[in-house]
């Protein structure tokens, strides 16, 4: 059977068998029939430990042991074996121990005697007749052995002649008092060390039944209350499944009430210890007196299947005992390492499989005994984070092949999956989420000067917060939005400067135009001269008016033709830009839609985005429709029918008609030429006037666009900032759970002042030192300083305006546009402020900070995969180890498997490690060993205890796990003593 240390198993602490001394209602014809049924039911219910119970006797226990000793030979009337091989194997492994039930004075208020149970170490059974049965006497001084009880029955009724009837009479009336039992405990150490006293807490026949007696005699001396206290003082445990009793006897009566905290818990513990002698485990058994009730109730106990394993429930009354249906501390099979083994051709490492417990496994041993190598091999095999598997120079922490050529390592999970260290490159890890914390890793994170190449602490915290899929998606969506804002903001900044350049160009062009007044005057003068010339030709006033109308029409056509050219150029440019952008969008759309996994989603968006495809096709069609060709004479014409072609034909036609109509009015060639010159001048002046109006309008529109673009830039800046408090609020749910451990994580949006300062300082004219005028700039500003967004925005806005207006002096090689992008870059970041017991992480001692970082790594990890920790005590102060770390490990081992290398006794003993792995390197200490392996390992529970056997030459096998701990770990003996006294009155 695999040794995984202390494991949860079902124990029945109170079960009677056929022939029990009182209330025997079992109907099986024979004892063999009964025990056949008894053990088959134990196998069916997977009961691993059974306390055979009887009143004042262990005879029924001895019968059960006798039956089991020959169980493989039990056959039915046909000669066929009664038990299968699986049943025999299981039944043989059951820990069977005696439970002697006593009745004790005083009677409860309901007239019933108090029941107290003596649970014995089976190895002590041979001494019970002398130390117990022949030592304890009843109120009449009669010994509690079979002879005494039989004699007592005969004295009560001399008319009874049969011995068994006399014995029954004696059993029925035999009562002991507390004094004799207490004297035995105080005078016989061997009895005390091999006995657990369990008192019933039932109001019918338990210690609590004396409460009403005390109420009745509260004005007396209080003897019954003192007696009640005395009963609890000598008891090691309580028979009760009442949840209130369970909580009371472990000092957690007030747990769950308003204001409950550590201080209240400690006071409750002190109160229970004062009035009840110790914290106590509550246990149950089926108390069966008929076959149907066999194993109907049980208790989960975490311990070895022996008396020492049972004793652990007294030292750990909360964590080693559970009364419930399902197995405690459930963990998924895929997340538990079941066993590991070295593959070492040269026998450098032991090839014996090392089994692991689902909870806390500690690895101890002398210096260079192979503790850390074992942990590293597990991490390396399961492909833990490469950054923690390597030294700072990128080399592996251990070159295992150098230690043993052909070395390999194998891991098997509880789910049955195996993995070797040496495997194909594309083979995925069976436990990729494993956490490995090597030696000194915590202090490197806690000390920035030691962590120059590693992740920043804030990034580590953020990575842990976003470790689960949902949070990771939220954070990635946040990053995507912020990145899109970065791109959009820079695009808008580019647009801002493009617009400003266009304004500058337009204003420069406008300056080349003549004054509007000059042009108006010139037009007026030239128009008058044209009229005079027309009059000189003898045209009538009506003809002159007709001529002027035609001339105006010609001018309109010329303007129309110019507008046509401008419009054609604008549409050509727009179509080209639209086609380019739409093609880019279509490619992105096609890529994303093709990757959609749900067909119904994919089909929906294929339909919805079809309009984009249609629009691109339309733009391509429009581009094709306005293509032009140039003939041999250099004349350009449209190749296809289109709106521009139609409009141009109409303009040309109108121009031709008008030119033909005006010719009759221009008969005099000399006058005609003069008029044409004047008209051309008038047309040019009117064109200039039109250009001035157009330029002025364009400048006005561009300036409006400039203002809108600036507003958009700062709107994007504000929106980008708002994503930070939003994501922090969303991720808050991941940090709430840590509050129960006293760890507070307060997320907030911070501003990287120092980064902005470095960038702006590099591009500033330092002679002018313009940066002195802004509160957000300065070498003394830190990223952890208060980030008031309104004040930051105020300074950023001022910087923007001053850069634009050249009030802020830059170096000659830096453009204003580049500077604007620098100051408007996203310097915000999500910062996670860590507090533990009213102390900020950045202000803690290195030891305390290291522990808090360990809490963060474990507490924020969404994965429940195993966590491997190598000697964390090297980074912690003594207080952190003895209180914080021990308590934290006790809590977290219930959630995930922990494997920890340590040389600290408190971690081993007071964290109640379920499995202790002892590592040894041959020749590294004074003790010699005949083991064939250089590095050897053995494992087991801390309750595995036996003194050193001189005859055993293999060092690891020569003593129990407890003795190894005391021998190897400094303060090991003291740690055991402290653990055993922790919850007891002393």
Contacts of 78 (CB under 8 A, 6+ apart): none
* 602: Cα separation from own chain's centroid: 33
Please give the structure tokens belonging to residue 346.
């040269």
For residue 283, the SS3 value is strand
C-alpha pair distances (Å), 53 with each of 17, 20, 153, 172, 282: 8, 8, 21, 16, 17
Residue carrying structure tokens 């803690």: 844
Kindly report the number of other CB atoms within 10 A of residue 716's CB atom.
21
Task: Count the helices and strands in the chain (H runs, E runs).
Answer: 35, 24
- CB-CB contact of 892 with 898 (8 Å): yes
State which residues of the chain have pLDDT below 50.
206, 209-222, 450-452, 986
CA–CA separation, 893 and 867 (whole Å): 10
User: How would DSSP label each residue in 584-603?
Assistant: HHHHHHHHHHHH---HHHHH
- CB-CB contact of 253 with 247 (8 Å): yes
Gyration radius (Cα) of the chain, Å:
47
Cis before 395 (ω within 30): no
Query: Closest Cα to residue 376, out of 953, 935, 795?
Result: 935
Q: Hey, what domains does the chain have and what are their CATH numbers?
A: 8-136+176-322 (3.20.20.140), 333-465+839-981 (3.40.50), 495-719 (no CATH)
Greatest pairwise CA separation for the chain in angstroms: 173
Residue carrying structure tokens 């507390």: 178
Please give the structure tokens belonging to residue 3.
């040794």
C-alpha pair distances (Å), 912 with each of 315, 329, 439, 766, 867: 9, 15, 22, 64, 17
The H-assigned helical ranges of 732-773 are 733-736, 753-763
CA–CA separation, 351 and 932 (whole Å): 10
Reported in sequence order, the residue ranges of 315-407 that DSSP labels E, i.e. its strands, are 321-322, 337-343, 354-355, 360-365
* pLDDT (0 to 100) of residue 398: 82
CA–CA separation, 679 and 149 (whole Å): 147
Crossing angle for the helix pair 163-173 and 146-156, to the nearest 10 degrees: 90
**Considering the entire predicted model, what is its pTM?**
0.77
User: How would DSSP label each residue in 829-885?
Assistant: EEEEEEEETTEEGGGS-HHHHHHHHHHHHHHS----S-EEEE-GGGGS-HHIIIIII
- CB-CB contact of 881 with 860 (8 Å): no
Kindly report the number of other CB atoms within 10 A of residue 283's CB atom.
29
For residue 964, the SS3 value is helix
* pLDDT (0 to 100) of residue 311: 94
SS3 content of the chain, % helix, strand, coil (to 5): 55, 15, 30
CA–CA separation, 857 and 834 (whole Å): 13
Residue carrying structure tokens 């007044």: 517
User: How would DSSP label each residue in 146-158?
Assistant: HHHHHHHHHHH-T
Kindly compute the dihedral angle of the four CA atoms of residues 684, 689, 694, 698, in this order, to the nearest 10 degrees. 120
* pLDDT (0 to 100) of residue 668: 59
* pLDDT (0 to 100) of residue 856: 86
* pLDDT (0 to 100) of residue 451: 47
User: How would DSSP label each residue in 216-249?
Assistant: HTTTTT-HHHHHHHHHHHH-SEEE---HHHHHHH
- CB-CB contact of 437 with 866 (8 Å): no
C-alpha pair distances (Å), 632 with each of 324, 625, 636, 645, 827: 100, 22, 10, 20, 61
Query: Closest Cα to residue 846, out of 868, 869, 871, 872?
Result: 872
């Amino acid at each position: 059977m695999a040794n995984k240390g202390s494991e949860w198993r079902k124990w029945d602490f109170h079960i009677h068998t056929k022939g029990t001394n009182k209330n025997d209602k079992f109907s099986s014809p024979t004892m063999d029939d009964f025990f056949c049924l008894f053990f088959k039911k134990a196998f069916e219910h997977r009961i691993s430990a059974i306390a055979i119970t009887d009143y004042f006797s262990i005879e029924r226990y001895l019968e059960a042991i006798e039956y089991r000793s020959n169980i493989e030979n039990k056959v039915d009337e046909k000669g066929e074996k009664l038990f299968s091989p699986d049943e025999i194997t299981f039944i043989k492994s059951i820990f069977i121990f005696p439970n002697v039930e006593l009745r004790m004075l005083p009677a409860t208020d309901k007239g019933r005697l108090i029941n107290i149970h003596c649970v014995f170490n089976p190895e002590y059974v041979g001494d019970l007749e002398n130390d117990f049965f022949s030592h304890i006497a009843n109120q009449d001084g009669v010994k509690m052995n079979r002879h005494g009880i039989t004699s007592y029955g005969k004295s009560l009724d001399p008319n009874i002649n049969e011995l068994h009837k006399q014995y029954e009479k004696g059993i029925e009336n035999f009562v002991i008092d507390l004094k004799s039992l207490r004297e035995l405990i105080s005078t016989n150490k061997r009895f005390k060390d091999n006995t657990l006293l369990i008192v019933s807490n039932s109001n019918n026949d338990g210690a609590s039944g004396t409460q009403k007696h005390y109420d009745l005699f509260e004005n007396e001396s209080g003897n019954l209350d003192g007696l009640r206290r005395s009963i609890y003082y000598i008891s090691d445990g309580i028979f009760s499944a009442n949840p209130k009793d369970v909580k009371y006897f472990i000092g957690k009566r007030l747990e769950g009430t308003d204001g409950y905290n550590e201080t209240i818990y400690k006071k409750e513990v002190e109160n229970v210890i004062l009035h009840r002698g110790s914290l106590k485990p509550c246990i149950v058994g089926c108390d069966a007196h008929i076959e149907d009730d066999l194993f109907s109730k049980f208790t989960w106990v975490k311990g070895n299947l022996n008396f020492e394993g049972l004793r652990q429930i007294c030292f750990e009354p909360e964590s080693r005992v559970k009364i419930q249906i399902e197995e405690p501390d459930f963990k998924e099979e895929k997340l538990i390492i079941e066993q590991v083994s070295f593959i070492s051709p040269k026998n450098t490492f032991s090839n014996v499989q090392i089994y692991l417990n689902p909870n806390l496994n500690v690895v101890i041993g002398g210096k260079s005994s192979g503790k850390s190598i074992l942990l590293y091999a597990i991490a390396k095999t399961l492909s833990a984070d490469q950054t923690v598997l390597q030294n700072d120079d990128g080399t592996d922490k251990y070159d295992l092949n150098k230690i043993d050529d052909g070395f390999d390592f194998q891991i098997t999970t509880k789910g049955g999956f195996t993995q070797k260290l040496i495997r194909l490159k594309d083979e995925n890890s069976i436990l990729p989420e494993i956490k490995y914390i090597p030696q000194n890793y915590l202090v490197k994170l806690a000390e920035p000067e030691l962590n120059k190449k590693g992740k920043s602490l804030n990034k580590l915290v953020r990575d842990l917060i976003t470790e689960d899929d949902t949070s990771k998606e939220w954070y990635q969506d946040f990053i995507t939005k912020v990145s899109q804002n970065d791109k959009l903001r820079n695009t808008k900044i580019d647009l801002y400067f493009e617009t400003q350049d266009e304004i500058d160009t337009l204003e420069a062009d406008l300056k080349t135009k003549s004054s509007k007044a000059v042009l108006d005057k010139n037009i007026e003068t030239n128009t008058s001269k044209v009229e005079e010339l027309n009059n000189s030709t003898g045209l009538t006033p009506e003809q002159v008016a007709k001529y002027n109308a035609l001339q105006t029409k010609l001018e309109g056509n010329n303007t129309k033709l110019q507008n046509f050219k401008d419009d054609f150029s604008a549409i050509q440019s727009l179509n080209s830009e639209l086609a380019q952008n739409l093609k880019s969008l279509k490619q992105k759309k096609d890529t994303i839609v093709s990757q959609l996994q749900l067909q119904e989603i994919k089909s929906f968006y294929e339909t919805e985005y079809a309009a984009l495809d249609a629009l691109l096709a339309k733009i391509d069609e429009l581009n094709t429709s306005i293509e032009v060709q140039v003939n041999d004479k250099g004349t350009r014409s449209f190749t296809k029918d289109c709106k521009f072609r139609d409009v141009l034909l109409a303009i040309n036609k109108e121009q031709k008609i008008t030119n033909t109509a005006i010719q009759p009015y221009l008969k005099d060639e000399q006058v005609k030429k003069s008029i044409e010159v004047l008209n051309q001048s008038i047309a040019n002046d009117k064109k200039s006037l039109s250009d001035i109006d157009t330029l002025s309008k364009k400048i006005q529109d561009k300036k409006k666009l400039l203002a809108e673009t600036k507003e958009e830039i700062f709107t994007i800046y504000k929106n980008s900032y708002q994503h930070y408090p939003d994501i922090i609020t969303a991720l808050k749910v991941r940090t709430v759970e840590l509050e129960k451990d006293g760890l507070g994580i307060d997320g907030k949006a911070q501003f990287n002042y120092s980064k902005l300062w470095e960038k702006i300082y590099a591009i500033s004219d330092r002679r002018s030192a313009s940066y002195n005028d802004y509160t957000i700039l300065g070498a003394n500003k830190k990223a952890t300083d208060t980030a008031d967004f309104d004040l930051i925005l105020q300074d950023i806005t001022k910087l923007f305006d001053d850069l634009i207006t050249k009030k802020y002096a830059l170096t000659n090689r830096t453009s204003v546009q580049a500077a604007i992008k620098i100051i408007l870059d996203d310097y915000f970041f999500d910062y996670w402020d860590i507090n533990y017991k009213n102390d900020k992480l950045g202000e803690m001692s290195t030891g305390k900070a290291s522990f808090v970082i360990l809490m963060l790594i474990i507490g924020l990890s969404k994965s429940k995969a195993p966590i491997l920790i190598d000697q964390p005590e090297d980074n912690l102060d003594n207080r952190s180890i003895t209180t914080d770390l021990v308590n934290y490990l006790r809590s977290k081992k219930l959630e995930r498997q922990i494997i920890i290398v340590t040389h600290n006794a408190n971690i081993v003993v007071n964290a109640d490690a379920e499995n202790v792995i002892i590592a040894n390197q041959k020749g590294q200490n004074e003790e010699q060993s005949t083991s064939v392996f250089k590095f050897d390992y053995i494992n087991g529970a801390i309750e595995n205890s036996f003194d050193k056997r001189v005859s055993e030459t293999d060092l690891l096998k020569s003593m129990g796990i407890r003795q190894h701990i005391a021998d190897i770990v400094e303060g090991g003996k003291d740690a055991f003593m402290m653990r055993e006294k922790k919850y007891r009155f002393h």
